């Protein structure tokens, strides 16, 4: 065979190498990161069950090159800060980012409480300011991070969590952490959107009651997906729903936007931004259920004035002052309420039925779908333990052409109803996949429930992400 001219061969080699390097560089960030030495001491061994130490971050997420403040409350004379990035790391689950930082303990002042809205907002002092370096590009990459707090000498432990973003970096997948929903259920200070009586406003300026790390402990849905994505080496970056609220255009830098587990509380802006992303060709993956059910508004902190530190949700139009304003569509009621008339199924394909269902199985309806390629699934086969604890189904408001992939019976108060796993193609050509169950991600990783691990769910997820362009 005749060889090409040396100059031509060299040009071809450089072109191929450049194409490979260009496509591999983004992927390799996650692969290189997870090849680093992992750690196991991120796990709490002596939890501060009586709030011996607790804390919160000044931001739910921070862009590389910026800083956030860590506020800590403890009566201990000293405490330590340990910083970790969550990931795969050979199964260890996290990586230590720095040596332990020792600080003097601070007994913080009592929080501000608003008598009318039951807003609880901390006004703590003497934070540790954590600056996230912008270089080198292989350190402090986008991810979910944990701050482990430890009292000295008693060794009581608690967490603070936050996300590091990379706003300028394109990635195949953008993974949203659902901090608004975590905050809705947070009862620190005695009030949440679920206490009786309940709060109408909740603040991000307070610790999470309990261990304080929603990505790990709130069902471990997000953490299970995170471990799967990073073990497989997907090109993924991370954000929170506050970023989806504030920076809608950033969604367009990614091939797909994914929501995991439980993402119940959305703002009008979030809904607009996610719909706009879909209509610009961004694929959407809802590995979750009960998404975008309640509309919320975000307001600035009462004390500091920092934007979007208070979440408002009255759940009753007659209680919400917004209903009587010039923009009643921002009233904090369910999106499917006739006042707003934006049923979740119009976007997601499915939406929540009322009531918490039993812990049971996903039943395959359409095994010939590309989503189930190479899974060996047949009609009627079951994905054990992956349905619950809330589930979604197809409604009249679901998009035309939505395909029902799994149709799964479950009981609520003795009544049999069904959950649906669906896919539809938007007019833009983007794909929208919804698993219809919060527990799907338990099938992706053995943490925390080894008996739910499902090779079929893993392969179906690979198929979805491949079709998304990841």
Q: What tens digit of pLDDT does each residue of 214-259 get?
A: 777 777 999 999 999 999 999 999 999 999 999 999 999 999 999 9
CA distance 463 to 459: 6
22, two tokens: 């260009």
CA angle (228, 232, 235) in 5-degree steps: 100
Model confidence at 11, in pLDDT bands (50, 70, 90)?
Answer: very low
Domain that holds residue 454: 350-431+441-467
Average pLDDT over residues 414-430: 95
CA distance 72 to 53: 7
Whether residue 106 is contained in a domain is answered as: no
Q: If residue 466 lies in a helix (H) or strand (E), which one and from where to where?
A: helix 455-467
Residue 437 near residue 409, CB atoms below 8 Å: no
At 54 the three-state DSSP class reads strand
Whether residue 270 is contained in a domain is answered as: no
Model confidence at 21, in pLDDT bands (50, 70, 90)?
Answer: very low
Which among 228, 70, 209 is positioned nearest to 145, based on CA atoms?
70
At 272 the three-state DSSP class reads helix
Whether residue 384 is contained in a domain is answered as: yes
Which among 339, 342, 344, 388 is positioned nearest to 362, based on CA atoms?
388
Residue 146 near residue 157, CB atoms below 8 Å: no
Whether residue 420 is contained in a domain is answered as: yes
40, two tokens: 């196991």
Q: What tens digit of pLDDT does each residue of 49-96 get?
A: 999 999 999 999 999 999 999 999 999 999 999 999 999 999 999 999
Cα–Cα distances in angstroms (integers) from residue 438 to residues 243, 287, 390, in the given order: 22, 7, 6
Whether residue 179 is contained in a domain is answered as: no
Residue 4 has pLDDT above 90, yes or no: no
Q: What tens digit of pLDDT does each residue of 302-319 get?
A: 999 999 999 999 999 999
Q: What tens digit of pLDDT does each residue of 92-134 get?
A: 999 999 999 999 999 999 999 999 999 999 999 999 999 999 9
CA distance 297 to 247: 15
**Strand segments (E) across 135-291:** 143-152, 157-165, 171-177, 201-203, 236-240, 254-262, 265-267, 283-289
Whether residue 364 is contained in a domain is answered as: yes
- Paired strand residues for 84: 96, 146
Whether residue 454 is contained in a domain is answered as: yes
Look at residue 448 in the predicted model and tell me its pLDDT: 75
Pairing relationship of beta strands 294-299 and 265-267 according to DSSP bridges: parallel
Average pLDDT over residues 347-352: 97
Average pLDDT over residues 349-366: 89
Look at residue 449 in the predicted model and tell me its pLDDT: 78
Look at residue 414 in the predicted model and tell me its pLDDT: 85
Mean pLDDT (the chain) is 93
CA distance 17 to 20: 5
Look at residue 133 in the predicted model and tell me its pLDDT: 96
Pairing relationship of beta strands 360-363 and 382-387 according to DSSP bridges: antiparallel
CA distance 447 to 246: 32
Whether residue 459 is contained in a domain is answered as: yes
Look at residue 131 in the predicted model and tell me its pLDDT: 98
CA distance 337 to 328: 12
Model confidence at 355, in pLDDT bands (50, 70, 90)?
Answer: low
Average pLDDT over residues 419-430: 98
Residue 86 near residue 223, CB atoms below 8 Å: yes
Domain count within the chain: 1
Look at residue 7 in the predicted model and tell me its pLDDT: 41
Look at residue 232 in the predicted model and tell me its pLDDT: 97
């Amino acid at each position: 065979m005749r060889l090409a001219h040396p100059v031509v061969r060299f040009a071809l080699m450089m072109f191929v190498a450049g194409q490979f390097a260009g496509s591999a560089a983004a992927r390799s960030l996650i692969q290189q990161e997870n090849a680093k030495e992992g750690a196991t001491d991120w796990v709490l061994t002596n939890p501060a069950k009586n709030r011996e130490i607790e804390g919160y971050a000044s931001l739910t997420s921070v862009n590389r090159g910026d800083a956030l403040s860590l506020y800590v409350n403890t009566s201990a004379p000293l405490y330590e800060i340990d910083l970790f990035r969550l990931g795969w790391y050979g199964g260890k689950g996290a990586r230590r980012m720095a040596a332990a930082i020792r600080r003097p303990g601070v007994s913080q002042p009592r929080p501000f409480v608003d008598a009318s809205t039951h807003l609880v907002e901390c006004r703590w002092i003497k934070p540790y300011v954590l600056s996230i370096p912008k270089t080198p590009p292989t350190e402090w990459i986008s991810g979910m991070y944990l701050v482990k707090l430890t009292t000295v000498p008693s060794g009581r432990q608690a967490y603070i969590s936050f996300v590091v973003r990379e706003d300028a970096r394109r990635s195949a997948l953008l993974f949203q952490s659902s901090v608004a929903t975590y905050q809705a259920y947070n009862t620190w200070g005695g009030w949440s959107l679920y206490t009786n009586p309940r709060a109408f406003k909740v603040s991000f300026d307070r610790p999470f009651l309990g261990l304080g790390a929603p990505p790990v402990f709130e069902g471990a849905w997000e953490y299970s997906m995170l471990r799967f994505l990073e073990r497989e080496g997907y090109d993924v970056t991370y954000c929170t729903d506050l970023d989806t609220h504030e920076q809608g255009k950033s969604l367009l830098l990614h091939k797909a936007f994914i929501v995991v587990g439980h993402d119940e509380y959305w703002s009008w802006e979030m809904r607009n931004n996610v719909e706009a992303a879909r209509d610009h060709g961004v694929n959407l993956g809802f590995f979750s259920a009960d998404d975008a059910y309640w509309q919320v508004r975000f307001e600035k902190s009462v004390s500091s004035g920092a934007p979007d530190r208070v979440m408002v949700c009255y759940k009753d139009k007659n209680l919400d002052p917004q209903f009587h304003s010039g923009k009643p569509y921002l009233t904090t009621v369910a999106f499917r309420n006739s006042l707003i008339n934006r049923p979740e199924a119009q976007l997601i394909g499915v939406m929540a039925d009322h009531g918490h269902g039993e812990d049971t199985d996903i039943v395959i309806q359409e095994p010939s779908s590309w989503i189930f390629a190479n899974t060996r699934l047949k009609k009627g086969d079951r994905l054990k333990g992956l349905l619950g604890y809330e589930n979604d189904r197809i409604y009249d408001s679901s998009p035309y052409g939505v395909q029902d992939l799994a149709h799964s019976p479950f009981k609520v108060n003795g009544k049999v109803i069904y959950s649906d796993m669906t896919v539809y193609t938007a007019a833009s050509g983007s794909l929208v996949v919804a698993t219809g169950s919060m527990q799907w991600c338990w099938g992706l990783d053995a943490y925390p429930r080894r008996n739910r691990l499902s090779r079929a769910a893993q392969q179906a997820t690979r198929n979805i992400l491949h079709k998304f362009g990841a």
